[in-house]
Chains A and B, each alone.
Chain A
Amino acid sequence: MKALFPVLVGALVALVVGDVLILGVGQSPADVYRLLLEGTWGNPYGFAQVLYKATTLTFTGLAVALALRAGLFNIGAEAQLALGGFAASVAGLALPIHTPAFLAIVVCVVAAAAGGAVGGAVPGALNAWFGANEVITTILLNFVVLFFLNWVVTAHLHVPETVHTPALTNGIVPRLSVLIPAFRGSAANATVLLAIAAAVVTGWFVFRTRFGYELRAVGLSPDAAEAAGIVLPRVRVATFTLAGALAGMGGTNFVLGYKHYYEDGFTGGAGLIGIAVALAGRAHPIGIMLAALAFATLSQGGLAIHALVPKQMADILQGVVILAIAIASASRARS
C-alpha cells in the first residue's frame, strides 16, 4: 500500500491540474472527462485502441523496470524498440514466401528480441567494462540508433515517396477484430497476448529464479552482492541485454500487428513513456500493465477530447503525472 502512495499523489495532482487547465479553456471538466472515457473505455473501438497502445508501453515499461530492479536506469527503450521493430521487418522481408505462418511469426518475434537485445547489450557492456554511466550512454544511443535506422530505411529500404519499408510478406500477426468483430478498424492485434506473457514471464524471472535473485541483490545492495561473489558486470550486461530484448519485442506490435512494415519514427516516444510506466507501475509486472493501460487511455483519450479542448491537453496530463510521481517518489525516498 505504501508503495502506491506516489502513484495516488500523481493521479490526484494530474486531476487537479487537469481541472484547472480545462476550466482555463472555458470547458467543464466533467464533460471533458466523460468524453475521454467514452472515447476510450466507452466503446469497442476506443477500448481496442487503448489495448493497442498499452501493448507497446507494457514492453517498454518492462524493459525499464527490469533494469531498475538491477539498479540501472534504461533510458534507451526508445532505441531498443526501434531496433526490435526494424529487425522484425527485416526478418519478415527475408523469409521465403511459403514459410508457415506460425513459424514466420516466431522467427520475426525472435528477431525483434534479438535486435532490441543488441541495443541493450551495448550500453550494458559500456557500463560494465568502462564504467560509462548508462543514463548518458542510453540517451545518446537513442539518437545514434534512430538516425542510423532513418538512414538505412530512407537510403536503402524504403518504398519511393514514403519513409517505410515494403510491406512484409511473412510474420503478419492477426488483428483482434478477426475474433471480435466489434474491434473493426482498430490496430489492436494478437501481440497484446505476447505482452501479457512477457509481463508474466518477467515477473517470474525476477521474483522466482536464481538469476532474478542475484539481479535484485545487485540492485538493492551492490556491495553485499559483490561480497557474496555475484559478479556485478556480468549481471549488469545480462540485465541490460534482456531489457533490450523486452523493448525490442514491443516493435512487433506496430510492425507485425498493425502496419506490416517498418516506418521511420514509429516509436513516437513509447520508449520514453515506458520510463513513466515503469515508475508508476512500481517496477512490478501487474503495476506495469495497469500503468500501461492508464497512459494508453490518456493518449487515446487525447484524440477523443479534441472537440472540446486542444488534444495536447492529454500530453500535458501525461507530463504532470510523470512529474508528480517522480517528485512524490523522491520526497519519500528522502524522508
Chain B
Amino acid sequence: MLSLEAINKNYGTVVANRDASLTVATGEIHAVVGENGAGKTTLLRIAAGELRADSGRVMLDDRDVSGWSVTEAIAAGVGMVHQHFMLVPTLTVTENMILGREPVFLDRRRASQAVRDLSESTGLAVDPEAKVSDLSVGEAQRVEILKALYRGATLLILDEPTAVLSLPEVDDLWKVLRALRDHGSTVILITHKLDEVMAIADTVTVMRNGQTVGQFQTSEVTPADLALAMVGRELAEFFTPAQRPMMNAAPVLEIENLVVGQAVDGVSFTVAPGEIFGIAGVEGNGQHELIEAIAGYAKVTSGSIRRGGTPIERLSVRRRGELGIAHIPDDRQRRGLVLDYTVAENLILGRERSFGRVRLDRMKMAIEAQRLITAFDIRPHDPRRLARTLSGGNQQKVVVAREMGGIRDFHVLLAAQPTRGVDIGALETIHAHFRLARSEGRSVVLVSSDLSELLALADRIAVMLRGRFVTVVDRADASAEVIGRYMAGAA
C-alpha cells in the first residue's frame, strides 16, 4: 500500500500541492483525476521520488520513505511513466531498457531475450531489436512501460498515458493494465478524462487546486459526480444583473461553423452587446484553440468569424485588436506576459504603437503604468518590477489591466481561464471588472473550468466536448448538475 499524507509543495509563489493525501491499495487500478494544474503530476512525482515535498509523508507498506530518490523508489518497485517519453531515439528497444544499468560486459543476446520474454508475458508487444525512432508513439509508450517493469516495478504510475494514443491503442493499453493488476501489480493512472476513469479504474481520487477533494469507488459514482468534484461544488450566489444583455441588438461577435485543425469541429455562436458568454467543458476539448483562433494566432481551417459584421478571420492579431477584441490568454506566463519585462513595459504590450512612432514615450508609459497599477491594485505598486517577480494573481492583474483598462478600448474580451491559480483577492478584482464591462455594454467570452465562476458571471453557458458545443443553456436553466452532466458527455 502506498500512501501520501498531508503533502505540501510550492514552486516559488505557486502552490502545487496543499495538504494533499492519497491512499492506493495494492493490486488496484487507481485513477487520479483533476483539471490541468490541479497538482496531480506533482503529487505523483513526489511519490516516485522525482520531487521532494516541502512537508508531509510518503509511506510504502508502513515504511516511511519520505524524500526518497528515484533510484530508491525503483529499487522498492515504484516506477513512473511520463507523458513525454524519456527514450533515446537512436538506440534499440533493448538498449533503452538496459540504459543506466548496463553491465560491464554487455550480453546483447541475453538482454534482448529477457526483453522478449517480458514483452510476451505482459502482452506489451514490441520488437526488442527495433530502433526507438522507428516506433509509433503507441509502441514507444509500451517500451516505456516495459522499461519500468524490466526494472522490477510492481507499482506503476502512468501520467496521461492516452494523450498520444489512438483508440485501438487505448484499448490495448487497458488490456495490459488489467493483466498487470490481475498479476498483483498496482497501477496509478493520472488523467483528466472521465470516460477513462469509468472504463478502467477501480478507485478514483479527485484533485482540485492542489488538494485531494475525495476518493471514490468507481462503481459507486457517475461521471457527473466526478465532474462536479473536479470543478468545485461551492457555488457563489447568483449575481442578479441590473440589466439584461441586448440580445436583440446586432451581435458584437459572430462565429459560424468554425473549424480549427482537429481541435474545433464546427462551432457556431453569437455574442450580444453586454453579454458574458460562458464556455464550460473539461479542458482539452477545443476551448483553447477556439479562443486562439478568434484572437488571431491559431490558423482557422474553415468557417467565419465576424466582429460587428466585418469578417476578421483573415486579419492579423493587431488588426483584430484595433477592431475591439481584447484577449486574456490561458497561459499568462507564456502568452500573456514577457516575464523579463517590467510591469510598465508589460502594460503596453501590443499597444506600443500608441506610445511613440519611433521613440517610446517613457513619460507616457509611466503615467499609463501608474494609472493601471492603481485602478487594478497591482501589488507591489512598482512599475519597474519585473513581471517575473510578481505573484500569480498580480501577474494576472497586469494582463487584465492591459486588456480591459489599457489605452486601447475593447468591445469583446476573450478571457480564457482568467482566474486560474490566482488568490481570492485577485479573483474578486477580476470578476468585478468583468461585471463592470458588462454593465457598460461590453461583452466577454469566458472560458473557464471553474463552474462556480461561470454560474456567477455568465448570461449563457455553452458546454464544449470534443470540439463541439453540446449545448447552450441560459443562466436561468443552468445548474452545476446540468452543466456537469453535459461536460461528462452523459446527457
Contacts and interface: CB of A to CB of B under 8 A. Distances in A.
A230 B336 CA distance: 13
B317 interface: yes
Nearest to B354: A210
B359 A208 contact: yes
A230 B341 CA distance: 15
Most chain A beta carbons < 10 A, residue from B317, B321, B349, B357: B349
SS of A interface (majority): helix
Given A210-B352, A210-B353, A210-B355, A220 B339 contact: yes
Nearest to B402: A228
A211 B359 CA distance: 8
Interface string B296-316: 110000000000000000001
A168 B429 CA distance: 69
Most chain B beta carbons < 10 A, residue from A210, A228, A231: A228
A228 B350 contact: yes
B350 A210 contact: no
B381 interface: no
B80 to A, nearest CB: 23
Most chain B beta carbons < 10 A, residue from A211, A220, A221, A223: A221
Contact of A213 (B316, B327, B339, B360): B360
Interface in A219-273: 220-221, 223-231
Interface string A170-211: 000000000000000000000000000000000000001111
A210 B338 contact: no
B318 interface: yes
Given A209-B358, A209-B359, A210-B360, A224 B349 contact: yes
A134 interface: no
B336 A227 contact: yes
B380 interface: no
A226 B355 CA distance: 19
A217 interface: yes
B352 A213 contact: yes
Given A210-B357, A210-B359, A213-B352, A227 B335 contact: yes
Contacts of A228: 317, 349-350
Contact of B350 (A211, A220, A223, A229): A229
B334 A223 contact: yes
Interface string B330-370: 01001111111100010001101101111110100000000
Contacts of A208: 359-360, 362
Interface string A265-293: 00000000000000000000000000000
Given A217-B349, A224-B337, A229 B321 contact: yes
Contacts of B320: 229
Contacts of A78: none
A231 B334 CA distance: 17
Contacts of A223: 331, 334-335
B329 interface: yes
Contact of B341 (A210, A211, A220): A220
A95 B336 CA distance: 53
B294 interface: no
B295 interface: yes
B338 A220 contact: yes
A161 B335 CA distance: 60
A210 B360 CA distance: 5
A151 to B, nearest CB: 40
Nearest to A207: B360
Given A210-B360, A217-B341, A220-B341, A226 B317 contact: yes
A187 to B, nearest CB: 36
A284 to B, nearest CB: 14
B339 to A, nearest CB: 7
Nearest to B318: A229
A220 B321 CA distance: 22
Contacts of A213: 345, 352, 360
Interface of A: 208-211, 213-214, 216-217, 220-221, 223-231
Given A225-B349, A227-B317, A227-B336, 10 more contacts: A208-B359, A208-B362, A210-B357, A223-B334, A224-B335, A227-B297, A227-B350, A228-B350, A229-B317, A230-B350
13 contacts: A208-B360, A209-B358, A209-B359, A210-B353, A210-B355, A220-B341, A221-B337, A224-B334, A224-B336, A225-B338, A226-B317, A227-B327, A229-B350
